[in-house]
Chain A
Amino acid sequence: GQNIDQPTEMTATEGAIVQINCTYQTSGFNGLFWYQQHAGEAPTFLSYNVLDGLEEKGRFSSFLSRSKGYSYLLLKELQMKDSASYLCAVNDSWGKLQFGAGTQVVVTP
Protein backbone atom coordinates (compact mmCIF):
# COMPACT_ATOMS: atom_id res chain seq x y z
CA GLY A 1 0.00 0.00 0.00
CA GLN A 2 0.90 3.66 -0.13
CA ASN A 3 1.88 5.50 3.02
CA ILE A 4 3.39 8.95 3.25
CA ASP A 5 3.79 10.45 6.71
CA GLN A 6 4.69 13.95 7.76
CA PRO A 7 3.97 15.93 10.95
CA THR A 8 0.69 17.82 11.05
CA GLU A 9 2.00 21.12 12.32
CA MET A 10 5.23 22.87 13.30
CA THR A 11 5.75 26.29 14.85
CA ALA A 12 8.94 28.36 14.69
CA THR A 13 9.97 31.97 15.11
CA GLU A 14 11.04 34.37 12.40
CA GLY A 15 14.72 33.91 11.49
CA ALA A 16 14.86 30.35 12.84
CA ILE A 17 15.34 27.04 11.03
CA VAL A 18 12.68 24.35 10.68
CA GLN A 19 13.09 20.80 9.39
CA ILE A 20 10.02 19.00 8.04
CA ASN A 21 10.41 15.23 7.89
CA CYS A 22 8.66 12.89 5.49
CA THR A 23 8.74 9.10 5.51
CA TYR A 24 7.25 7.02 2.75
CA GLN A 25 6.34 3.51 1.68
CA THR A 26 5.08 3.43 -1.88
CA SER A 27 4.72 1.13 -4.87
CA GLY A 28 7.84 2.09 -6.75
CA PHE A 29 9.85 5.26 -6.50
CA ASN A 30 10.72 7.80 -9.17
CA GLY A 31 11.69 10.69 -6.97
CA LEU A 32 10.24 12.90 -4.28
CA PHE A 33 8.79 16.39 -4.60
CA TRP A 34 8.16 19.11 -2.06
CA TYR A 35 5.43 21.65 -2.69
CA GLN A 36 4.43 24.76 -0.75
CA GLN A 37 0.72 25.55 -0.41
CA HIS A 38 -0.61 28.77 1.08
CA ALA A 39 -4.14 28.64 2.44
CA GLY A 40 -6.71 28.55 -0.35
CA GLU A 41 -4.06 28.54 -3.07
CA ALA A 42 -2.48 26.02 -5.41
CA PRO A 43 0.59 24.00 -4.46
CA THR A 44 3.78 25.48 -5.91
CA PHE A 45 6.88 23.44 -6.72
CA LEU A 46 9.83 23.75 -4.33
CA SER A 47 12.19 20.86 -4.98
CA TYR A 48 12.73 17.42 -6.50
CA ASN A 49 15.12 14.70 -5.28
CA VAL A 50 15.71 11.42 -7.05
CA LEU A 51 19.22 10.58 -5.81
CA ASP A 52 20.38 10.38 -2.21
CA GLY A 53 21.77 13.54 -0.72
CA LEU A 54 21.08 17.18 -0.15
CA GLU A 55 19.81 19.65 -2.75
CA GLU A 56 20.18 23.29 -1.77
CA LYS A 57 18.15 26.07 -3.31
CA GLY A 58 18.51 29.39 -1.53
CA ARG A 59 16.87 29.30 1.90
CA PHE A 60 15.30 25.91 1.17
CA SER A 61 17.13 22.58 1.07
CA SER A 62 15.79 19.07 0.57
CA PHE A 63 17.38 15.77 1.54
CA LEU A 64 16.64 12.23 0.43
CA SER A 65 17.62 8.78 1.69
CA ARG A 66 16.07 6.14 -0.55
CA SER A 67 17.23 3.22 1.59
CA LYS A 68 15.46 4.70 4.62
CA GLY A 69 12.39 5.93 2.75
CA TYR A 70 13.03 9.35 4.25
CA SER A 71 13.23 12.94 3.15
CA TYR A 72 13.31 16.30 4.84
CA LEU A 73 12.75 19.89 3.79
CA LEU A 74 14.89 22.45 5.61
CA LEU A 75 13.69 26.03 5.77
CA LYS A 76 16.33 28.53 6.90
CA GLU A 77 16.05 32.18 7.96
CA LEU A 78 12.31 31.80 8.31
CA GLN A 79 10.14 34.67 7.15
CA MET A 80 6.49 35.35 7.93
CA LYS A 81 5.59 34.59 4.31
CA ASP A 82 6.87 31.02 4.83
CA SER A 83 3.76 30.28 6.91
CA ALA A 84 2.08 27.67 4.71
CA SER A 85 1.45 23.97 4.32
CA TYR A 86 4.36 21.92 2.93
CA LEU A 87 3.43 18.81 0.98
CA CYS A 88 5.69 15.84 0.46
CA ALA A 89 4.83 13.88 -2.71
CA VAL A 90 6.35 10.67 -4.05
CA ASN A 91 6.50 9.99 -7.78
CA ASP A 92 5.50 6.34 -8.08
CA SER A 93 6.22 3.73 -10.73
CA TRP A 94 3.46 5.02 -12.99
CA GLY A 95 4.61 8.63 -12.79
CA LYS A 96 1.77 9.63 -10.51
CA LEU A 97 2.22 11.78 -7.42
CA GLN A 98 1.23 10.32 -4.05
CA PHE A 99 0.87 13.19 -1.60
CA GLY A 100 1.22 13.35 2.16
CA ALA A 101 -1.39 15.31 4.08
CA GLY A 102 0.95 18.27 4.49
CA THR A 103 2.74 19.96 7.37
CA GLN A 104 1.36 23.32 8.45
CA VAL A 105 4.26 25.62 9.35
CA VAL A 106 3.38 28.58 11.54
CA VAL A 107 5.98 31.34 11.72
CA THR A 108 5.65 33.64 14.73
CA PRO A 109 7.24 37.09 15.16
Chain B
Amino acid sequence: DAMVIQNPRYQVTQFGKPVTLSCSQTLNHNVMYWYQQKSSQAPKLLFHYYDKDFNNEADTPDNFQSRRPNTSFCFLDIRSPGLGDAAMYLCATSRDRGGGETQYFGPGTRLLVL
Protein backbone atom coordinates (compact mmCIF):
# COMPACT_ATOMS: atom_id res chain seq x y z
CA ASP B 1 0.00 0.00 0.00
CA ALA B 2 1.18 3.51 -0.78
CA MET B 3 1.82 5.37 2.41
CA VAL B 4 3.66 7.91 4.51
CA ILE B 5 6.09 6.40 7.01
CA GLN B 6 7.69 8.11 9.97
CA ASN B 7 10.54 6.83 12.09
CA PRO B 8 10.89 6.52 14.94
CA ARG B 9 7.36 6.59 16.39
CA TYR B 10 8.73 7.75 19.74
CA GLN B 11 11.93 9.69 20.29
CA VAL B 12 13.47 10.70 23.59
CA THR B 13 16.25 13.28 23.59
CA GLN B 14 18.03 15.44 26.08
CA PHE B 15 17.74 19.17 26.39
CA GLY B 16 20.08 20.72 23.82
CA LYS B 17 21.00 17.43 22.10
CA PRO B 18 20.38 17.50 18.32
CA VAL B 19 17.75 15.12 17.03
CA THR B 20 16.59 14.09 13.56
CA LEU B 21 13.17 12.78 12.65
CA SER B 22 12.59 11.05 9.34
CA CYS B 23 9.72 10.70 6.92
CA SER B 24 9.42 8.67 3.74
CA GLN B 25 6.63 8.27 1.23
CA THR B 26 5.74 5.78 -1.47
CA LEU B 27 3.06 8.01 -3.01
CA ASN B 28 5.52 9.81 -5.30
CA HIS B 29 4.01 13.12 -4.21
CA ASN B 30 5.69 16.41 -5.05
CA VAL B 31 4.99 18.15 -1.77
CA MET B 32 6.11 17.16 1.73
CA TYR B 33 5.13 19.00 4.91
CA TRP B 34 6.25 19.02 8.54
CA TYR B 35 3.78 19.93 11.26
CA GLN B 36 4.17 20.30 15.01
CA GLN B 37 1.18 19.33 17.12
CA LYS B 38 1.02 19.88 20.87
CA SER B 39 -1.58 18.26 23.06
CA SER B 40 -5.15 19.38 22.26
CA GLN B 41 -3.88 21.94 19.75
CA ALA B 42 -4.11 22.32 16.01
CA PRO B 43 -1.26 21.02 13.88
CA LYS B 44 1.08 23.92 13.13
CA LEU B 45 2.89 23.99 9.80
CA LEU B 46 6.65 24.38 10.20
CA PHE B 47 7.72 24.21 6.54
CA HIS B 48 7.14 22.37 3.32
CA TYR B 49 9.03 21.26 0.23
CA TYR B 50 7.56 21.67 -3.21
CA ASP B 51 9.84 19.28 -5.05
CA LYS B 52 13.28 20.66 -4.05
CA ASP B 53 12.00 24.12 -3.26
CA PHE B 54 12.07 24.73 0.51
CA ASN B 55 9.38 26.97 2.04
CA ASN B 56 9.76 28.05 5.63
CA GLU B 57 6.88 29.47 7.67
CA ALA B 58 7.66 32.95 8.98
CA ASP B 59 7.22 31.96 12.63
CA THR B 60 9.19 28.70 12.51
CA PRO B 61 12.17 29.01 14.88
CA ASP B 62 15.68 28.78 13.41
CA ASN B 63 16.20 25.79 15.66
CA PHE B 64 14.17 23.74 13.17
CA GLN B 65 15.72 22.76 9.85
CA SER B 66 14.73 20.34 7.12
CA ARG B 67 16.31 18.36 4.33
CA ARG B 68 14.83 16.57 1.36
CA PRO B 69 17.57 14.57 -0.35
CA ASN B 70 15.18 12.98 -2.86
CA THR B 71 11.47 12.73 -3.68
CA SER B 72 10.83 9.96 -1.17
CA PHE B 73 12.57 11.21 1.96
CA CYS B 74 12.36 14.28 4.16
CA PHE B 75 14.07 14.96 7.48
CA LEU B 76 13.35 17.31 10.35
CA ASP B 77 16.40 18.41 12.32
CA ILE B 78 16.04 20.08 15.69
CA ARG B 79 19.43 21.57 16.46
CA SER B 80 19.03 22.28 20.16
CA PRO B 81 15.75 20.90 21.51
CA GLY B 82 14.16 22.75 24.38
CA LEU B 83 11.46 21.53 26.73
CA GLY B 84 8.92 23.48 24.69
CA ASP B 85 9.72 21.40 21.60
CA ALA B 86 8.17 18.28 23.11
CA ALA B 87 5.29 17.51 20.77
CA MET B 88 3.99 15.19 18.07
CA TYR B 89 5.67 15.85 14.73
CA LEU B 90 3.57 14.99 11.73
CA CYS B 91 4.81 14.54 8.19
CA ALA B 92 2.33 14.90 5.35
CA THR B 93 2.42 14.74 1.57
CA SER B 94 0.27 15.99 -1.28
CA ARG B 95 0.41 15.34 -4.99
CA ASP B 96 0.65 19.02 -5.78
CA ARG B 97 0.35 22.37 -4.04
CA GLY B 98 -2.79 24.46 -4.27
CA GLY B 99 -6.48 24.38 -3.66
CA GLY B 100 -8.14 21.06 -3.14
CA GLU B 101 -5.02 18.96 -2.79
CA THR B 102 -5.57 16.40 -0.05
CA GLN B 103 -2.73 15.99 2.41
CA TYR B 104 -1.91 12.47 3.59
CA PHE B 105 -0.34 12.14 6.99
CA GLY B 106 2.15 9.74 8.49
CA PRO B 107 1.60 8.24 11.96
CA GLY B 108 3.75 10.91 13.61
CA THR B 109 6.79 10.91 15.87
CA ARG B 110 6.21 11.81 19.49
CA LEU B 111 9.23 13.70 20.82
CA LEU B 112 10.03 13.83 24.51
CA VAL B 113 12.73 16.23 25.73
CA LEU B 114 14.31 15.48 29.12
Contacts and interface: CB of A to CB of B under 8 A. Distances in A.
Interface of A: 4, 8, 30-31, 33, 35, 40-45, 48, 50, 87, 91, 95-97, 99-102, 104
Contacts of A104: 40
Interface in B29-73: 40-45, 48
Contacts of A44: 105
Given A42-B106, A44-B105, A102 B99 contact: no
Nearest to A44: B105
Nearest to B98: A95
Nearest to A6: B42
Where chain B touches its partner, the secondary structure class is: loop
A47 to B, nearest CB: 10
19 contacts: A31-B100, A42-B105, A42-B106, A42-B108, A43-B105, A45-B103, A45-B104, A48-B100, A91-B100, A91-B101, A95-B97, A95-B98, A95-B99, A95-B101, A97-B45, A97-B103, A100-B42, A101-B42, A104-B40
Contact of B99 (A30, A41, A43, A99): A30
A4 B42 CA distance: 10
A31 B105 contact: no
Contacts of B100: 30-31, 48, 50, 91
